[in-house]
């Protein structure tokens, strides 16, 4: 045997070993891809179940939020009303403060007269009840 033939045999054996290793690698890669594919299918099914549960939960939450929306609207309306009442009170207070002292005297006199009339009427009713 010559040196060229020995080199050719060594080369053939090297190529054969390379093909065997590549074949083993491809077989193991195919098995691994099969396992990964099964796992991905399982994960996809579980993800679909989770998404269905999330949709149900979201519908439930949306229904409950729709139920409490009127309460929040009523609270907002009440806040607006209180704010408007507060503004009106401030305006009235400012008007009373800025009015002349004669107006204050007139208001005080009217209140005193109304109070006296109320007391007189109460006393008259007591007198009528005592006479009966």
pLDDT per residue as tens digits for the range 83-123:
888 888 888 777 767 765 556 677 777 777 777 778 877 77
Q: Mean of the pLDDT values across residues 70-80?
A: 87
The pLDDT of residue 100 is: 55
- pTM for this prediction: 0.42
Q: What is the mean pLDDT of the chain?
A: 86
Virtual torsion, Cα 99, 105, 107, 110, nearest 10 deg: -160
Residues in Cβ contact with 104 at an 8 Å cutoff, skipping those fewer than 6 apart: 96
Q: Mean of the pLDDT values across residues 59-77?
A: 89
């Amino acid at each position: 045997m010559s040196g060229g033939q020995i080199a050719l045999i060594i080369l053939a054996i090297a190529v054969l070993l390379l093909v065997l290793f590549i074949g083993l690698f491809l077989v193991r890669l195919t098995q691994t891809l099969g396992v990964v594919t099964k796992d991905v299918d399982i994960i996809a099914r579980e993800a679909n179940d989770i998404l269905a549960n999330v949709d149900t939960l979201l519908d439930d939450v949306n229904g409950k939020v729709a139920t409490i929306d009127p309460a929040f609207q009523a609270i907002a309306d009440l806040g607006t009303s209180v704010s408007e009442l507060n503004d009106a009170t401030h305006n009235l207070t400012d008007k009373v403060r800025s009015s002349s002292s004669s107006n204050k005297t007139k208001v005080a006199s009217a209140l005193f007269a109304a109070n006296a009339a109320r007391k007189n009427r109460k006393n008259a009713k007591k007198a009528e009840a005592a006479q009966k």
